[in-house]
Amino acid sequence: MKTTRRDFLKVAGVTALGMAAGAGPALAYSKGAYLPHTEHMDTGHDHLAAKRWGMVIDTRAFHGEADYAPLIEACHKEHNVPTIPGTQDVKWLWTGGFHATFPHNHQEFLAERAHHAAYPLLCNHCDNPPCVRVCPTQATFKREDGIVMMDMHRCIGCRFCMAGCPYGSRSFNFQDPRPFIAEENLAYPTRMKGVVEKCTFCTERLAEGKMPACVEASEGKIVFGDLGDPDSEIRHILAENFTLRRKPDLGTSPSVFYII
Amino acid sequence: MLEKALNGNKYYWWWISLLLVCIGVGAYNYALQFQHGLQLTNMSRDVSWGFYVAQLTYLVGVAASGVMLVLPYYLHDYKKFGNLVVFGEFMAIGAIIMCLLFVVVDLGQPQRLMNVVLHPTPNSVLFWDMIVLNGYMFLNIIVGWASLEAQKKGVPYAQWVKILAIVSVPFAFSIHTVTAFLYAGIPARHFWLTAIMAARFLASAFCAGPAIMLLLLFIVEKVAKFEIGDYAVKMLARIITYAMIFNVFFFGLELFTAFYSQIPGHMHSIVYLFAGLEDPTTGQHLGVMVPYFWAAAFMALLSLALLIPSATRNCKPVLIFALIILVAATWIDKGMGLVVAGFIPNMFEGVTEYMPSSTELFISLGIYAIGALVVTVLWKIAVTVKKAAA
């Protein structure tokens, strides 16, 4: 039962969820998203696979907040992330200062450059995710490739995952988000009020053989790859550079690494 | 026996009408919230649980307090509580109904509530909270009703009633323990990440719950001319005193651990409650909870000063005053501070403050009125049956 759902989402991605939500039916149908999940397995897509997906962000290559703007725009546009003013907003990818990003890591005499830099914040797709542990309906679950997913149709909106996530990576739709989407991407579902959402490492793009939207927009400054493969590019980069992860002391083992 | 609730004087019906009006106000506001979503609350991305969850937290304590009568009566055969046990059980029913309603109104998608049952998830504490809350409610309904029925007929309660009553004892402890585990197992929420959380919950429950019950019993004594029994009152007051001593002591343990260790994460939330915190991005000093928390600390200590010496504890007007400030102090601690301060500072060491919106307050008023209605009706039945039996 659980595996079926997981497989279904791995391949069909959230496209199918969008259909059920009634969003962009024309495009979703044209992609064949209505087909049973087994059909998708044999479509011959060169979908990307990994033992454990991970991300390395070379923050040295970004100079200030403005450098992250195209990445954020690519992500939020692709996934219909609304722009809601105030404290009830929705974020998938955003930025913070050094202290906000690494709160347990207050370097007293930090290099000026690192201190004033902006750092991108997103779901860490932890190897040991607390949000999955606390979810009472399995609406949040971890795929075999390490991606922490959200089933927006299963979510009851209890927001336990928001309390459980040590990275503030989850957003709740306090209201209907649709009026706050400037330009709707019909190929991806919009959400309804009362459910939690977050970054999904672009599973829908991986299923089509594409890199995540922010990785593509970063033009090489973010590397995305298989942490489970010792010969992968990402592992070589991690071996050659000193990196930080957010709040490593909590034992969640984030899959997002920052080169400072 | 339900028909006994349909027979009351003018004041009884005025009270029932008032409750129904409050329920109506709550229902109207819930309809609005259902339509527009939780945007009508003051909860936010940073403070994602607020007043509703805090009321759940407080009321599980009120529900669990029935055990302070059930345990001595059924397990230790302490017969002086015989006249009161059913009141504790019935109050627990009202409290748990309120708890469950507070969970439901807090959901973003309440129509999917049954997903918790359809996709049972033993790794989630919320799943176990649902099990123990419902279990405890049904045990109290069965035990309370059956023992009252027996009293009406003038026969002793059956053996199975006693067995179920004793089974309800661990359930009472578990509703509070499991609710504490909702918080205590979460990484990076330092204010909640403490092994003594469940013990603190139990201590505050066993003082606040019986205190509310005793206050309500004094009202019943007055309006229904129902004899509580001087000895039972004294015993309950003593139980409340000891539980409150533990409650304050346990909070002191938290203060020591946080401030002697000087680990910033452990101190932040407590500093926020008593002094406020500066938001690093805006430089603003924020602390809406500060006056409440000082008031709570003062009332908690004053209630102890009045409850510990038997001279003041045995003086009824003083006792009533002490119980009222005890309830206020514990309510500020659990029903306001505990949940919210867990989210402050947020995951980025910023400060987003929270105070309930009018929608949250009106819906909560409605739920409290439902609880009060349930308790009124059940207690009315109990008083009528007991008076007829005597």
Q: What is the pLDDT of residues A15-74, one digit of tens each?
A: 444 444 444 433 433 444 433 333 444 444 678 999 999 999 999 999 989 999 999 999
Bridge partners for B285 per DSSP: B278
Residue to test with chain B: of A105, A174, A247, most B Cβ within 10 A: A174
Contact with chain A for residue B38, Cβ under 8 A: yes
The tens digit of pLDDT for each residue in A80-131 reads 999 999 999 999 999 999 989 998 777 788 888 888 899 999 999 999 999 9
Model confidence band, residue B72 (pLDDT cutoffs 50, 70, 90): confident
Q: Which of residues 119-178 of A touch B (CB under 8 A)?
A: 121, 130, 132-139, 154-160, 162-168, 171-176
Residue B30 pLDDT greater than 90, yes or no: yes
**What are the angstrom distances between the C-alpha of A14 and each of A10, A90, A195, B103?**
9, 18, 15, 29
pLDDT tens figures, A206-259: 999 999 999 999 999 999 999 999 999 999 999 999 999 999 999 999 999 999
> Chain A contact for B112, CB < 8 A?
yes
Tokens 């579902």 found at: A189
CB of A8 closer than 8 Å to CB of A37: yes
Q: Give me the pLDDT at residue B113, please.
A: 94
| Whether B348 and A101 lie within 8 Å, measured CB to CB | yes
CB A190 within 8 A of CB A80: yes
pLDDT at A5: 53
Q: How near does any CA of chain B get to the CA of A43, in Å?
A: 31
With tokens 């007055």, the residue in question is B222
CB within 8 Å of A216: residues ≥ 6 apart: A74, A210
Q: Can you spell out the DSSP letters for B148-169? A: HHHHHHTSPPPHHHHHHHHHHH
Whether B180 and chain A come into contact, CB under 8 Å, resolves to no
**Cross-chain CB nearest to B48 (options A101, A139, A172):** A172
User: What's the rounded mean pLDDT across residues B138-162?
Assistant: 88
Nearest-CA residue of chain A relative to B348?
Answer: A100
Rounded (10°) CA dihedral B348, B353, B359, B363: 80
What phi-psi label fits residue B166: left (phi over 0), alpha (psi between -120 and 50 degrees) or beta? alpha
User: From its phi and psi, is residue A188 left (phi > 0), alpha (psi between -120 and 50) or beta?
Assistant: beta
pLDDT of residue A45: 61
Helices B230-261 and B264-274 sit at what angle, rounded to 10 degrees? 130
Question: What is the residue whose two structure tokens read 């909070």?
Answer: B251
Inter-chain CB proximity B48 and A155 less than 8 Å: no
Query: Which residue carries 């004041």 as its tokens?
Result: B11
pTM (two decimals): 0.90
Residue A65 exposure: Cα atoms within 13 Å on the Cβ side: 6
Q: Is A84 on the interface with B (CB under 8 A)?
A: no
Cβ neighbours of A101 in B, within 8 Å:
348
Residues in B touching A6 (Cβ below 8 Å):
none
Give A97's contacts in chain B (Cβ within 8 Å): 281
Q: What is the pLDDT of residues B357-374, one digit of tens each?
A: 999 999 999 999 999 999
Closest CA in chain B for residue A168: B347
Chains A, B: CB pairs < 8 Å: 149
Closest Cα in chain B, distance from residue A231 (Å):
33
B187 closest CB neighbour out of A97, A136, A250: A250
Q: Please, which residues have CB within 8 angstroms of residue B358's CB and are 6 or more apart in sequence? A: none
Digit-coded pLDDT (tens) for B93-134:
999 999 999 999 999 999 999 999 999 999 999 999 999 999
Asked if residue A2 has pLDDT above 70, the reply is: no
Nearest to B175 by CA among B139, B141, B143, B207: B139
| Chain B contacts in chain A segment 223-252 (CB below 8 A) | 247, 250-252
**Residues in B 342-381 with any Cβ partner in A closer than 8 A:** 342-343, 346-350, 352
Question: In angstroms, how far is CA B289 from the centroid of its own chain?
Answer: 20
Distance CA A229, CA A234 (A): 9
Q: Which pair of structure tokens corresponds to residue B51?
A: 């007043």
Q: Given an 8 Å threshold on Cβ–Cβ distance, is A171 in contact with B45? A: yes
Res B79: pLDDT? 82
Residue A145 backbone dihedrals phi, psi, to 5 degrees: -90, 15
What sign does the CA torsion over B333, B338, B340, B343 have?
positive
Q: DSSP string spanning A40-74? A: HHTS-------SSEEEEEEGGG--SGGGGHHHHHH
- In Å, how far is A233's CA from the nearest CA of chain B? 31
For residue B115, the distance in angstroms to the closest alpha carbon of chain A comes to 6
